[in-house]
Structure 1
Amino acid sequence: MNDAPSPAPYPGMYPGRYWHFLDDGRMQCDLCPRHCRLHDEQRGACFVRQRLGARMLLTAYGRSSGFCIDPIEKKPLNHFYPGSAVLSFGTAGCNLACKFCQNWDISKSREMETLADAAMPDAIANAAVAHGCKSVAFTYNDPVIFAEYAMDVADACHELGIMAVAVTAGYMGAQARRDFYAKMDAANVDLKGFTDAFYIAFTGAHLQPVLETLQYLKHETDVWLEITTLLIPGKNDADEEIRAEARWIARELGTDIPLHFTGFHPDYKMRDVPPTPISTLAHARKLAIEEGLRYVYTGNVHDTAGATTYCPACRTPLIVRDWHAIENYRLTPTGACPDCFASVAGRFGHFERHFGQRRIPVHIGL
């Protein structure tokens, strides 16, 4: 890792960290397990990290694909201050090559014009305060590739009492992982499937580094963690694969980690695959619960039973949801069941009102 850079004078020309020179003169990016080896002026697979001479530049620093205020449940995070508002943004590019990408117009973009809004960290933190957001989320594309920008935003947010949330595939190198998650308060990690064959065929990546990120988050940090698996019909929805994933989570991370099974819709390079039936999501949820997981959810569908948080002891409904909307909330401010006083895993506080399931675009200037 190279020394931390000084702030850039303008967006898009920020010196990146996490690289070293190879004996043959190429520059190796150490941000993620791809280890892109770059000649002068080449960009990495993520497209937003570029070698210029003896420097690595993060061309997406201070440049966003747009800002929106979302409900925190949309990330999805069901156990991290439910009902609160989160200011969400991403950049262009991605370090995975998912054929099923649901945000491909942003993550796969190589047109820097996609980065419509320029905003430096202080401006983002101030906007979160002004709009009544409890947190800022790095999402839409993977914040791994704009790690330095995300970490600076997180620092600015923490100074104002705003929390930082990463929505990520977890494909990250060891040093960058330590630095990045030291700044985060919560993370939702996309566990794309549970075989290396699936990762290779459909994401251009590997499973093991993601599992290492999940283990690191659980055992080496205080970051609140939830996991999402997008179920694609015929690709990663076999019973044994779902059971194997749930067993691994229970054994390696614990039974209190919330797991979200979300519905696929045809997009990007997989338009010939049908949408995920609600019955598939409900069945996957049932299997994961049978393997011992306490909090398993369905997403991207109207399924009140699958979206509701139940008491782990008496099984009474505590947070009733339909899609991202909270219809009833009975948790105490400390996160306990009011009937049997059992604790629910998560981060909770005084619940005033639900932000709602609407998305509100906002503009943030430099």
Structure 2
Amino acid sequence: MTSEISLDDRYTVPGRYWHRLGDGRVQCDVCPRACRLREGQRGLCFVRGRVGDQVVLTSWGRSSGFCVDPIEKKPLNHFLPGSAVLSFGTAGCNLACRFCQNWDISKSREIDRLTDAAGPDDIADAAIRLGCRSVAMTYNDPVIFLEYAVDVADACRARGIKAVAVTAGYIGDEPRRELFAHLDAANVDLKAFTDDFYHRVSAGHLQPVLDTLVHLRHCTDVWFEITTLLIPGHNDSDAEIDAECGWIADHLGPDVPLHFTAFHPDFKMRDVPPTPPATLTRARRIAQRHGLRYVYTGNVHDTDGGRTTCPGCGAAVVERNWHVIGRYELTDHGRCTACGTTLAGRYDGPVGEWGRRRLPLSIAELGER
């Protein structure tokens, strides 16, 4: 084992989703990976393991760092536009994406060196001091630190701060219901639209992610948006993009925002070229042909791909330059000022003014500011 698990560690708490098997192992039920563990073993995510004949979470109250970002960076274009969000994550991940762009965090096996201590109340209080309207659990995936994520979300919501998840949506049925019951918004990373890609590139499966999206749309009030990173030669064909957009239109409806973002070489896929901007434009047009109303491009400079148009009158109601909002023609409640159509999203006040700034914070600064 890379490191031993101890119940005496203040960062280790009992997990809620697991069961015993007949062969003496225990199975973690947080995600579809269903890791089967003997005493002392950890799951693929690394932060959940077996000790004392149970599955525990070893990263409760541990963070890989904090940063204040624009909410549009998550990306969430229809959730409290222009506002600041306090972002944090932990170590580990339950997928094994060869293209991971946060691999130094998600694949970390050095928890003691990598992470800082921050309890849920500390995070929520810091968000208030920093002027953030929300807290985002991101960088790796809140699915794997579910118990910590729920506690952080509850602490935030108790103070009027919104709770946001940036997730791959790779989660089991019961944990899915619990996690999203505590959240206000999410961005779900739909990595591709074939099971072959998920199996070959991410060591997972597509269907659980689709199940998460259907659950969010039909069983919760969580505002959510979808992101697909287009990787040349792997998931960027017209046929696959067309299938994804058709599924979204049929199962989720036209009002769920979809972000196509550009890949850059990283981790174990450094031999793949960056995504050409033309690929994102092509994908956006395919999505629009399926009737999707809010389709965006990301990781490139594309003013057309950052624009929100009113589905009622066609007016440009939000213009974005990277993450900076310029033109903004919506009321405090998200109505088009030209025709009165209410745009899909969560709007409850004037547009924020955080802009493109990014403010990294140490654990000491988190408490001082």
Which TM class, normalised by the smaller chain length?
over 0.9
Do 2:332 and 2:351's aligned partners in 1 also have CA atoms closer than 8 Å?
A: no
- Cα displacement string for residues 100-127 of structure 1 (whole angstroms, at most 9, x for unaligned residues): 0010000011111353321000000000
Point out where structure 2 has 5 or more consecutive residues left out of the alignment. Answer: 1-6
Partner of 1:132: 131
* Structure 1 residues 232 and 351: CA distance shift in structure 2, 3 A: same
Whole-Å separation in 1 of the counterparts to 2:148 and 2:200: 30
Partner of 2:285: 286
- Cα displacement string for residues 135-190 of structure 1 (whole angstroms, at most 9, x for unaligned residues): 00000001100010010000100110001000000000011001100000001000
Whole-Å separation in 2 of the counterparts to 1:116 and 1:37: 26
Whole-Å separation in 2 of the counterparts to 1:143 and 1:334: 29
2:268 matched to 1:269? yes
Whole-Å separation in 2 of the counterparts to 1:315 and 1:109: 46
Point out where structure 1 has 5 or more consecutive residues left out of the alignment. Answer: 1-7
Partner of 1:184: 183
Whole-Å separation in 2 of the counterparts to 1:323 and 1:101: 22
Task: Tell me which amino acid in the other structure corresponds to 2:75.
Answer: P
Task: Tell me which amino acid in the other structure corresponds to 1:290.
Answer: R
Do 1:246 and 1:291's aligned partners in 2 also have CA atoms closer than 8 Å?
A: yes
Do 1:199 and 1:207's aligned partners in 2 also have CA atoms closer than 8 Å?
A: yes
Equivalences for 1:213-292 in 2 at 5 Å? 213-292=212-291
Partner of 2:344: 345
Partner of 1:45: 44
Partner of 1:111: 110
Q: Report how far residue 11 of structure 1 moved.
A: 4.1
Partner of 2:148: 149
238-247 or 50-59: bigger deviation: 50-59
Q: Report how far residue 358 of structure 1 moved.
A: 1.7
Whole-Å separation in 2 of the counterparts to 1:277 and 1:304: 16
- Cα displacement string for residues 38-58 of structure 1 (whole angstroms, at most 9, x for unaligned residues): 000000000000101212221
Whole-Å separation in 1 of the counterparts to 2:75 and 2:52: 40
Q: Report how far residue 301 of structure 1 moved.
A: 0.8
TM score, norm. by length of structure 1: 0.96
Whole-Å separation in 2 of the counterparts to 1:10 and 1:130: 29
Q: Secondary structure at the match of 1:144?
A: coil
Give the number of aligned pairs: 359
Q: Secondary structure at the match of 1:143?
A: coil
Whole-Å separation in 1 of the counterparts to 2:156 and 2:8: 20
Q: CA RMSD in A?
A: 1.3
252-261 or 309-318: bigger deviation: 309-318
Partner of 1:73: 72
Whole-Å separation in 2 of the counterparts to 1:353 and 1:205: 38
Equivalences for 1:93-108 in 2 at 5 Å? 93-108=92-107
Partner of 1:3: none
Do 2:81 and 2:351's aligned partners in 1 also have CA atoms closer than 8 Å?
A: no
Task: Tell me which amino acid in the other structure corresponds to 1:305.
Answer: D
